[in-house]
Structure 1
Amino acid sequence: MKFTSLRVYFFVFIFLLVVQSCKKDEGGNPGPVKIDASQWGSFVPVSWYNMELKLLKETPGFTPPIAARAIAYTGITLHETVVRGMENGTSLSGQLDGLAYLPSHEENLRYNWAIAANAAMADVIRSLFGNASQEHLDMIDALETENLLELSTTDFSQEEIDRSIQFGKLMANAIYLWGASDGGQGAYLNNFPINYTPPQGAGLWIPTPPLFQSAMLPYWGKNRYLIKANKQVAGQIAAAPAFSATSGSAFYQSADAVYQKGNTLTSEETIIARYWADGTGTFTPPGHMIAITSQLIKDNNLSLDKASQLFAKVGIALNDAGILCWQVKYRDNLIRPVSYIQRYIDSNWMPLIGTPPFPSYFSENASFTSATSILLADYFGESYAFTDNQKIDDGFSPRSFTSFNSMADEAAISRVYGGIHYQFDSEIGKSGGLAIANKVLELKY
């Protein structure tokens, strides 16, 4: 009987302890509580991509493939920082080629994931734009400070803020060091390597008027793809159409179609060609794509976690589309329309927009826009209508589209209107972008 009473007292004591513990938790003195990244909006990454777009315009050497690379590593850094605060998020470690060892956070401690993202993006952009001017470096410092002040609320202690900053910086450094071995490190300092000699022969690329620059980034196609499987895509891209100077041949007709279109452009076709030119001194075609992505993320009020996933997807696709395009360009070394037309059709003809200094086949603009359109359609829907407002500051009116595919179609045909690509360049470019995007969609985020 005495033993039974003791057991009763024991269980009552344990019950009271449990009740007291629950009351303590309800009383506002709990242990650290994990904060989910979905609690923040997208203003931090949007602000940093706006900064990156400015840098792409104003920093020497950031040609389209190099711009795509910078955009990609920025997005991966963002994602890998924020994914630690996603309940069901998946790291890209082990999925992207060579990405294996990344900093880990402490599971039982609190982080402000927006502050971590702010620190990470600031540091990786500083590193990626290694030749940025002091004025631009000061702008990066100022934006980092401005965002931090906006995010430093009384909900987080200084210790938690410092911990978040430190984690973001560690992640930025890890991603940058991994990227340094991809073959594109510092390429902004040497877009035109002097040790490259282009092959010679009928139908092969030659420097184009009016600048007659040497070949740009001839080795870029040898860079490491972010998705290893994309290395096989180039083998699936058919060789460029057989060259022929014979009047009436299929190749002649392709060139003549560019010539005839260049001579009969409507005012709308002229606007389209110039709108999508995105040449020297602009944010480049990859920058245009990330600018549209950023606009849609902001317009749709995406949370930090969702924004980081979408930015990463588009960035990875742009990088790998650039490598694929350059791999095929220098595999086939196809003559540009202006060179063909001046030699075989009309020696005085010039295209509407300047021909960039690399082979024709296939169109990088078509590839970049196609890949991005597939990813945006996957997220927002195939029939999502939107307006591109990204070139108002450049003097263009906004352009509206009924779908992402219609945007990709317009961007692709713009290169024919501009006189710098054959129709088949644009068609194969779209196919290449599609193949890259499909691989990106197979990853887990």
Structure 2
Amino acid sequence: MRKHFTYFFFEKLHYKFKYSILSLMIGFLAISCKDKKNEEATPTNLSKETNTYSADIATRWTELQLLLIKSTPGYAPPVAARTLGYTSLALYESVVHGMPNYQSMVGQVNGLTSLPKPDVTKEYSWGVVANSALGTLITQLYPTTNDINKRAIDSLKKNIESNLKVAIENPATIERSKAFGIEIANAIFEYSKTDGGHQGWDNNFPSDYKTPVGVGLWEPTSTQKIPLLPYWGKIRTFSSLNMTTNPVAPTNFSYKEGSDMYKLAKEVYDTGKALTNEQKAIANFWADGGNTITPPGHHFNIANIVLKKEKVKLDKVAEVYAKVGMAVSDAFVACWRGKYTYNLMRPITYIRQAIDPQWSPLLSTPPFPEYASGHSSGSGAASEILTSIFGNNYEFTDNTHNGTYPDRTFKSFYEYADEATISRLYGGIHYRQGNENGHKNGTEVAKNILKFKFKTGA
């Protein structure tokens, strides 16, 4: 009996000991799992993903930017392209943390070494973040716009925020999201200041530039004697590869009848003398000259047309804008590098000196060297990006000039780019080589942007 009692006592004690150890282990595991959960938490766990937000948050800002470009002094095509590039990058970085399988461009984009990060233990509204980032950066990048435009910026920012607030229960989430958007905008703005193109709108025609003089070199074609943005080709590109992606050299200059250069000029002359109504329509549709949304704006409007047609969400808009924006901006830098490397005279100058002193082109000749074509470079870049995302044989209607020129329908993005390219020959302001080589270079520039790894594990 005594032996049995002793056995029972120690058995019970052993049971309690095992139970205590087991409880301690379960408690330890629970704490460990809780700590691990905190360590591994991401904003995506706590916040609605970017793809739950409307694309309108971004497309409405682009529509406003196109109006700003038209009405803000100094927004020449390269300046407009740069600004659209930075605002698009800011949009992407403001929402990428809510996009599973996508990653920041930090460490990939040329010179972008760091950006603010969200608090992984807190909730964010990526729609509010995007609106705050775009509203802040656009204000910073259009400081000289008129008061009506400034009020429009403020009004759009408040309108979008007001609509988003309805679905957010916690006021702290709204304020946190706004603050993070401002952080991203300020960081991108500081980054933009270091590229060499800061405040380019304020110095389109630098008085310190000495125009080269020589046979075959650019000569003023109007009262504007200093050419547009002669230093633009030196600014930093988004892709480091695009710092050296340049159009091939133009053909050797010659006034000799029968030379390759003469043939190029003669083609411009002959085409201009026999333009069909369709060719005139094409030239005018793609002119995008002064006081318009500019060629970069036209490419962005085409992107908007497609994005609305596809009924995408905010995540897709952010990706498309980032790729198109950086590609078109880099294409204009590369194009301007070529312009001031070769300083080739415009067709109007050549033709009047060597073929017909009374000839004039359909379109007014802009005040900077010919080679290569900015329109062609930008359309080559944009079409390559859009094709990579939406595929070849994508039919769409371009209504950019609704009410001014009839809409034009294209069976693919390459088809629209080809038409934009040839339009400059019809307009009489570029030789064929400037159009075609600019287009090819824009395509190569875009391919370098597509080498960025937007997706994790790509």
Fold match by TM threshold 0.5: yes
- Whether contact under 8 Å (2:381, 2:443) holds in the other structure is yes
Equivalent residue number for residue 123 of structure 2: 110
Shift of 1:200: 0.9
Cα distance between partner residues in 2 of 1:73 and 1:184: 12
1:148 to 151, 157, 161: 161
2:368 to 354, 358, 361: 358
Q: Residues 240-277 of structure 1, C-alpha deviation per residue, up to 9 Å, x if partnerless? A: 11111111211111101100100101101000000000
Shift of 1:2: 1.3
Equivalent residue number for residue 443 of structure 1: 452
Equivalent residue number for residue 389 of structure 2: 379
1:78 to 91, 97, 105: 91
* TM-score between both structures, scaled by the size of structure 1: 0.93
Equivalent residue number for residue 179 of structure 2: 166
Cα distance between partner residues in 2 of 1:290 and 1:169: 24
Equivalent residue number for residue 429 of structure 1: 438
Task: Report the AA paired with residue 373 of structure 2.
Answer: S
Q: Residues 330-352 of structure 1, C-alpha deviation per residue, up to 9 Å, x if partnerless? A: 00000100001111111111100
Equivalent residue number for residue 209 of structure 2: 196
2:228 to 216, 219, 239: 216
- Whether contact under 8 Å (2:381, 2:446) holds in the other structure is yes
Equivalent residue number for residue 286 of structure 2: 276
Equivalent residue number for residue 412 of structure 1: 421
- Whether contact under 8 Å (2:168, 2:174) holds in the other structure is no
Equivalent residue number for residue 170 of structure 2: 157
Residue correspondences, number: 431
Shift of 1:194: 0.9
Change (3 A) 1:134 1:2: same
Cα distance between partner residues in 1 of 2:194 and 2:440: 28
Task: Report the AA paired with residue 239 of structure 1.
Answer: A
Q: Which moved more, 1:62-71 or 1:225-234?
A: 225-234
Equivalent residue number for residue 232 of structure 1: 244
Equivalent residue number for residue 408 of structure 2: 399
- Whether contact under 8 Å (1:34, 1:108) holds in the other structure is no
Shift of 1:12: 8.8
Equivalent residue number for residue 331 of structure 1: 341
Cα distance between partner residues in 1 of 2:405 and 2:324: 24
Residue aligned with 1:358, SS: coil
How is 1:4-83 mapped onto 2 (pairs within 5 angstroms)? 5-6=15-16, 7=18, 33-83=46-96
Q: Percent identity?
A: 39
Task: Report the AA paired with residue 418 of structure 1.
Answer: G
Equivalent residue number for residue 148 of structure 2: 135
- Whether contact under 8 Å (1:245, 1:251) holds in the other structure is yes
Residue aligned with 2:332, SS: helix
Residue aligned with 2:439, SS: helix
Gapped regions of structure 2 (runs ≥ 5): 1-10, 34-42
2:189 to 161, 166, 176: 176
Task: Report the AA paired with residue 336 of structure 2.
Answer: W
1:267 aligns with 2:280: no
Residue aligned with 2:307, SS: helix
Shift of 1:154: 3.9
Shift of 1:109: 0.9
Cα distance between partner residues in 2 of 1:325 and 1:253: 23
Residue aligned with 1:400, SS: strand
1:258 to 249, 254, 268: 268
Q: Which moved more, 1:62-71 or 1:150-159?
A: 150-159
After superposition, the CA RMSD in angstroms is: 2.0
Shift of 1:144: 0.2
Shift of 1:9: 8.5
Cα distance between partner residues in 2 of 1:12 and 1:101: 45
Q: Which moved more, 1:181-190 or 1:407-416?
A: 181-190
Task: Report the AA paired with residue 206 of structure 1.
Answer: E
- Whether contact under 8 Å (1:112, 1:156) holds in the other structure is no
Equivalent residue number for residue 39 of structure 2: none
Cα distance between partner residues in 2 of 1:118 and 1:47: 10
Shift of 1:229: 1.3
2:355 to 332, 345, 359: 345
Cα distance between partner residues in 1 of 2:98 and 2:108: 19
- Whether contact under 8 Å (2:71, 2:291) holds in the other structure is yes
Task: Report the AA paired with residue 438 of structure 2.
Answer: G
Residue aligned with 2:420, SS: helix
Equivalent residue number for residue 25 of structure 1: none
* TM-score between both structures, scaled by the size of structure 2: 0.91
Shift of 1:212: 4.3
- Whether contact under 8 Å (2:134, 2:185) holds in the other structure is yes
Residue aligned with 2:409, SS: strand
Equivalent residue number for residue 40 of structure 2: none
Gapped regions of structure 1 (runs ≥ 5): 22-30
- Whether contact under 8 Å (1:96, 1:228) holds in the other structure is yes
Residue aligned with 2:397, SS: strand
Change (3 A) 1:218 1:15: closer
Shift of 1:164: 0.3
Task: Report the AA paired with residue 441 of structure 1.
Answer: L
Q: Which moved more, 1:93-102 or 1:265-274?
A: 93-102
Shift of 1:436: 0.3
